[in-house]
A and B are shown apart, each in its own frame.
Chain A
Amino acid sequence: MRITIDEDRCCAAGQCVLAAPDVFDQRDDDGIVILLDADPGPDQHAAVRDAAAACPAAAIMVEE
């Protein structure tokens, strides 16, 4: 799995952190997404796909 983030699209909703808190975080000042792990293990894959699907700004891309 390879995760890429489009920071310019990110709207700081934090839905990704709710779905996959081990993979995503938010910056303190503006809430923009921080990618903690661009290639997480299989135990995270379902959560990451949920995060990408739930992102209201379509800012998370997942390649497998």
Chain B
Amino acid sequence: MVVVGASAAGVAVVETLRREGFDGPISLIGAELELPYDRPPLSKRMLSGQWTAERTVLRPRATVEGWNTDLRLATRAVRVDAAARRVILDDGDELAYGDLVIATGVRPRLLPGLPQVPGVHVLRTLADAVALRDALTDGPRLVVVGAGFLGAEAAAVACELGADVTLVSDLEAPLADVLGPELAGMLLDEHGRRGVRVETGVRADEVLVADGRASGVRLVDGRILPADEILVAIGAVPETGWLDGSGVPVGNGVFCDATCSAAPGVWAAGDVASWEHPGLGERIRLEHRTNAGEQGMAVARNLLAARAGRPATPFAPVPYVWSDQYDLTIQIYGRPRPGDALRIVEGSTAERSLVALHGRDGRVRAATGINRPRQTRAARALVARAAPWETGSAPEHGEREGVPA
């Protein structure tokens, strides 16, 4: 058994395989130097300095050692021969596999021609977070390009650390494509109230360099935002280059069926996996921490089922993502889309505490909560069963929720 990728998804695969009684050999291949660590804190409490790097470990060292795997860190898989069932590593080693799990995640998308100079940051790895945190100590001018979850969170932390922050959003407000205009508007106001300048409806054109380091960002409308530090947070691309020519189907991620199988003996989990979600009736790929764990568990179980000649189970989770910005905790179940109807069913934007439902095609498709975690979880049930939009108002008290798939 070979698991390529030693972050949340890969760890969930290994942990579940052992828990379900698989006692055969497992090689776990991780490109990074550190023991498996968690990424959400990198734009939250790790970036703010509240947590040290050690605090981000996914499992204690003793637990990792207890899995009894052939753990190879600082090692990359560079090629797969799916016909011969072999993985080739960057140190020249070749590993034969019965089953291969691809959990290589994503890497930051870069602006075209982005100069690799001091002052230019991305935020994906622990090393990225340490570098950005260290750069924020002296109250620099920071321009954050991209106002998705990562950019908005990093802007909030940087602002609280005393940086002079400008957040560049190509939408009318941060996360407007996910939250819809009303809730994103609240978020826009919050960033403004805290002192973050938000440039909306505009893209960055290029990063400017002076004296060998970043000096600013030119926007497509020609304006220049002077900066000491620049964070590029414009999304991510799946790490699939090493699969070219392997016979494993790849497009926007590793193409899997509903059971997360990509080819005979090949599976994928986490940010890199694109699969046919049976409940949603569409191919999706999720770059969210909770999915990495859930999908890793599902793949381990399906893989063992296939080995035992039992049918694999379609993976049909209710997607979940959360974001912490200032003192706001935003939680989203389901997949909201631009143009969805929105109905606030508890609280209000003025209270900075609410539960809202997103409706599409006459059904509840998603639920967003701000600073109401328990009540938001109750609304999950409406998303899980795609409750009728007209009658699906407040979650019924005592409604029993499904266990995650």
Contacts and interface: CB of A to CB of B under 8 A. Distances in A.
Contacts of A49: 19
B373 A26 contact: yes
A22 B249 CA distance: 42
B293 A14 contact: no
A54 B404 contact: yes
B12 interface: yes
B2 to A, nearest CB: 21
Closest 4 CB pairs of A and B: A31-B373, A12-B373, A14-B377, A56-B290
B333 to A, nearest CB: 10
B374 interface: yes
Interface of B: 8, 12, 15-16, 19, 38, 40, 58-59, 289-290, 293-294, 297, 320, 322, 324, 329, 331, 372-374, 376-377, 380, 401-404
Interface of A: 11-15, 17-19, 21, 26-28, 30-31, 47, 49-50, 53-58
Nearest to B381: A18
SS class, residues of chain B in contact with chain A: helix
Contacts, number: 70
Contacts of B289: 56
Given A12-B373, A15-B320, A18-B377, A54 B290 contact: yes
A8 B329 CA distance: 15
A54 B377 contact: no
A53 B329 contact: no
A53 B294 CA distance: 8
Given A12-B322, A13-B290, A53 B12 contact: yes
Nearest to A58: B58
A57 B38 contact: yes
Contacts of A54: 290, 293-294, 297, 404
Contacts of A57: 38, 40
A53 B11 CA distance: 9
A19 B59 contact: no
Contacts of A31: 329, 372-374, 377
A30 B373 contact: yes
